[in-house]
Structure 1
Amino acid sequence: MALYRRTADFISASWADQHTQLPLLAVTGASFALGLLVQSLLRTGPVQAGILPSPRSTILPRLSEEEIRKLPLPSDVLPGGRDVESPYGSLRCYEWGREDGPKVLLVHGITTPCVSLGGLAHALVDRGCRYLKGTKLTHERFGRGYSETPADLPQDERLFTTQILLALASSPISWTGASSGKFCLVGYSLGGGIVANFASYFPEMLSSLVLLAPAGMMHDNDVGLQARLLYSRGLVPESVLGYFVRKRLRGGPLVPPKVNPKGDNKVGVESALTEEFATGNEAETQILSREYPHINIPSSVVWQVDNNPGFVHAFMSTMRFGPIFRSKQWSAWARLGAYLSAQNGAPVGSQAGKGLPNDKVHIICGNNDQIINKDDLVTDATAALGGNATFKFYDAGHEFPSTKYEDIASYMINFL
């Protein structure tokens, strides 16, 4: 009965959007009925414990070297690749550049593998920086690219923080400690929420912090009803939700396009994906992999959806538990802001002034971003960080890190 009550309460609370959401409600209702009929077979409990493999073990052994090179996401898409074994499964890292140059760690978004930041990584290396990237932790995070997936753990800031530390510890050079020279931490979209949370706990490791169209300060009502239904737990079996999410991520229609007469934007399943795609001339000119100049984000994402067994699970878990929303991340951003305020007021040369010496968080946004509301972000980030933030804007959308990478690298080199 509790399940029926939760369903009734959810639908009642969402009735105001009925005219634009009826198709999805019908699908959800049918799925719910199906779930009741077969609930003895399809349980909605925890995901089975274990590690979901990556294409490294399921796809690559069957292919020749030439076939691997023709993949939409080759295993050597970026230089310096390595696979790091861990209790959470293996993660893919890419690291290259001068060992004595400034160190930069890049963290990608929710759907795209780490090649989405490949253009920025190359641009930074051209300017003398060393780049570390781990498969999600883009570094490809768990469940993305060639990283495996811990199926029994939520994809939340605890797992993401651990993955950053695993990637750092696997490097042949020192990224932490008194003699390391510290490193610059950069996060894009979801990665922005991840690195802001990480910095709030480990600011002394960092020389600077750069957030590119960051999540973390999104409002709960920025997400549309369709997405809330798809990522709710307990209403329908996980297998049914997974089927619909996979269709959405591959571009298959689930319901007709939403027409919103009010013109307000709501983040849905497709928008989390497609807003990271460049279009038009910028898509044709972007070079994310110099080894494979033809590589593009849409085809690599579709390949990832089809060939990484952990991707859909990781995506759904991240939407549920990841560092996305202001209501859950305000305390972390405020903790970082308090640290920066204390550091800025510390006497020169004191121990208190040794972390994040650039003093402010660098936040870069697109004026036309359909995912991250620029005005809300400026207001909320400034308040949460205690004014310890500086902003830069591009006339672009959410995809700008994969198209404006030369401009971003030139901006960053000024404080690296």
Structure 2
Amino acid sequence: MSSFPDISRYFSTSPQPRPNVYLAAAAGLSLGVLLNRSLSSPYSPSHPGVLPSPRKSLLPTLSRTEIAELPYPPDVFLGARDVDSPYGTIRVYEWGPEEGRKVLFVHGISTPCIAFAGMAEKLVEKGCRVMLFDLFGRGYSDTPTSLPHDARLYTTQILLALSSSPLSWTGSNQTFSLVGYSLGGCIAAAFTSYFPSLVNSLILIAPAGLVRPAHIGWKSRVLYSTGWLPERLLQWLVRRRLEGGPSGAVAVTPSPQDTFDDVAADADDAVAAEVGNTASSAPQSGGNAPGASFDAAALFPHRPHISPAAAVRWQLLSHPGFLPAFMSSIRYAPIHSQHDRWTLIGRRLSAQKSSYASLSSSSSSFSMNRQQQGKVLIILGRTDPIIVETEIVPDAREVLGRENVEVVVLDAGHEVPVSKSGEVVDAVWKFWGGGEAGMGKGEVAAAT
């Protein structure tokens, strides 16, 4: 007798379908599974591990004239190099006097490193050695698709960029100044919290990192969640938001008529405000409107076709990894709730002050410069509805320590490092002990 149970009763005795019916059903089921996988996850095995930047996917198809007319030409800065890594190629620029103060820039969530064009050139004129790079998924850097774009990935990218230099930026007696803007601000703060001995000066411009959770609206929770909707659909919706398209899409940059509650409804809008009005290349009216001066800002006077808004539109059209990187950054980057990491920076600065105070008391010839006093410089735009002065100043002072923070507020919006690059550099130079700010329009925020 067979030991297997009789399972014939579970099958119908009616005439059986022909084999091709089974094949059709199996094919339909397989197709459904494949479609579900491709629509639900950007990190499925069917996707490549790295999405190439326009350096590989676009430039080979263009003439020299067409390349020169791009919103972000590859030769826009001196000292360009493409750094190979397990995460894809990274575009890095480095120039300036080899013996000058070393300054590393980390840009925001949408505009590539050209956002720092004005600041970088002005610091080089003052004798600095500068390094800029495109974050993964921006500009001419590739996009790793199998990893979250979080503090770990961006910290690794900074180290890869530094290690690619022909000069020593790290090691014995080698430190550098770190400048981060918007998303780059929270990345710079996270990096400093892990590698304090490498950074001699931390400059945060309209930084994310302490964005209050109350600003995270339901639209962001839906658009940037995972597992609720197919990833392709989410990407389509986010793309329409960035482009400011119709059918209910929300432009990233609010209009001057929007109320603050409308502006701050979504934390992703807060960080993505640097996009400017990507729906139009025409300058907007209202110089203090968020994105107005940013969209019209001439990053390179001799190349007026290069602008932040044009660069973002170009990335949306030409960089296959831009949208996945943008969305992953919203989901996983250290945009908010970074109080513990910032507190760690503050504690180290306080301990550093105590150490220097002991040296000062034991030596009458000892004097502290601005670095040794141990402070973080935060530069804000007065009309920035995104990183709001009345929120970030008290929050930063609470976690870093009032004595460890210096705040400068300029007459600008969130686009402050672009539209006010000269004044920002003046404030930074004064902070470093290089003399009074040349333009004199910034003010140190009063203690509250």
Same fold at TM > 0.5: yes
* Cα contact 1:368–1:397 (8 A) shared by 2: yes
**In the alignment, does 2:206 pair up with 1:224?**
no
1:286-312 Cα shifts (integer Å, max 9, x gaps):
432366343111111010111111111
Letter paired with 2:50 = I
Letter paired with 1:396 = A
Q: Show the counterpart of 2:314.
A: 303
Q: Show the counterpart of 1:19.
A: none
- Counterparts of 1:167 and 1:249 in 2: how far apart (Å)? 29
Letter paired with 1:57 = K
Q: Show the counterpart of 2:184.
A: 191
**In the alignment, does 2:314 pair up with 1:320?**
no
- Counterparts of 1:223 and 1:331 in 2: how far apart (Å)? 20
Q: Show the counterpart of 2:418.
A: 402
Residue 348 of structure 1 aligns to a residue whose secondary structure is helix
Q: CA deviation at 1:206?
A: 1.4
Out of 199, 205, 214, the residue aligned to residue 206 of structure 1 is 199
Letter paired with 1:167 = A
Q: Show the counterpart of 1:344.
A: 353
- Counterparts of 1:231 and 1:175 in 2: how far apart (Å)? 36
* Cα contact 1:204–1:354 (8 A) shared by 2: no
Q: CA deviation at 1:66?
A: 1.3
Q: CA deviation at 1:158?
A: 0.4
- Counterparts of 1:261 and 1:193 in 2: how far apart (Å)? 23
Letter paired with 2:405 = A
The 1:51–1:283 alpha-carbon spacing in structure 2 relative to 1, beyond 3 Å, is: closer
The 1:309–1:343 alpha-carbon spacing in structure 2 relative to 1, beyond 3 Å, is: same
Q: CA deviation at 1:330?
A: 1.1
Residue 343 of structure 2 aligns to a residue whose secondary structure is helix
* Cα contact 1:215–1:324 (8 A) shared by 2: yes
Q: Show the counterpart of 1:159.
A: 153
Q: CA deviation at 1:266?
A: 1.8
Residue 345 of structure 1 aligns to a residue whose secondary structure is helix
Q: Show the counterpart of 2:140.
A: 146
1:92-124 Cα shifts (integer Å, max 9, x gaps):
011111111111101100111111111111111
- Counterparts of 2:260 and 2:408 in 1: how far apart (Å)? 32
Q: Show the counterpart of 2:3.
A: none
* Cα contact 2:42–2:145 (8 A) shared by 1: no
* Cα contact 1:207–1:355 (8 A) shared by 2: no
- Counterparts of 2:417 and 2:261 in 1: how far apart (Å)? 30
Q: Show the counterpart of 2:171.
A: 177
What residue ranges of structure 1 are gaps of 5+ in the alignment?
1-36, 135-139
Which region of structure 1 is more displaced relative to structure 2, 281-290 or 155-164?
281-290
The 1:56–1:144 alpha-carbon spacing in structure 2 relative to 1, beyond 3 Å, is: same
Structure with bigger RCO (C-alpha 8 Å, 6+ apart): 1
The 1:205–1:256 alpha-carbon spacing in structure 2 relative to 1, beyond 3 Å, is: closer
**In the alignment, does 2:288 pair up with 1:292?**
no
**In the alignment, does 2:88 pair up with 1:95?**
no
1:125-148 Cα shifts (integer Å, max 9, x gaps):
1111111011xxxxx100000000
Residue 177 of structure 1 aligns to a residue whose secondary structure is coil
TM-score, normalised via structure 2 length: 0.77
Q: CA deviation at 1:260?
A: 6.7
Letter paired with 2:340 = S
Q: Show the counterpart of 1:252.
A: 245
The 1:383–1:354 alpha-carbon spacing in structure 2 relative to 1, beyond 3 Å, is: same
Residue 104 of structure 1 aligns to a residue whose secondary structure is strand
- Counterparts of 1:236 and 1:283 in 2: how far apart (Å)? 33
Out of 384, 390, 412, the residue aligned to residue 369 of structure 1 is 384
Out of 324, 332, 335, the residue aligned to residue 341 of structure 2 is 332
1:307-351 Cα shifts (integer Å, max 9, x gaps):
11111100000000001012xx1111011111111111113289x
Residue 170 of structure 2 aligns to a residue whose secondary structure is coil
The 1:254–1:146 alpha-carbon spacing in structure 2 relative to 1, beyond 3 Å, is: farther
RMSD: 2.6
Q: Show the counterpart of 1:18.
A: none
The 1:93–1:355 alpha-carbon spacing in structure 2 relative to 1, beyond 3 Å, is: farther
- Counterparts of 2:399 and 2:348 in 1: how far apart (Å)? 12
Q: Show the counterpart of 2:24.
A: none
**In the alignment, does 2:390 pair up with 1:390?**
no
Greater gyration radius: 2
Count matched residues.
Answer: 370
What residue ranges of structure 2 are gaps of 5+ in the alignment?
1-30, 277-282, 288-292, 363-367, 433-448
TM-score, normalised via structure 1 length: 0.83
- Counterparts of 1:167 and 1:264 in 2: how far apart (Å)? 35
Q: CA deviation at 1:356?
A: 5.5
* Cα contact 1:207–1:358 (8 A) shared by 2: no
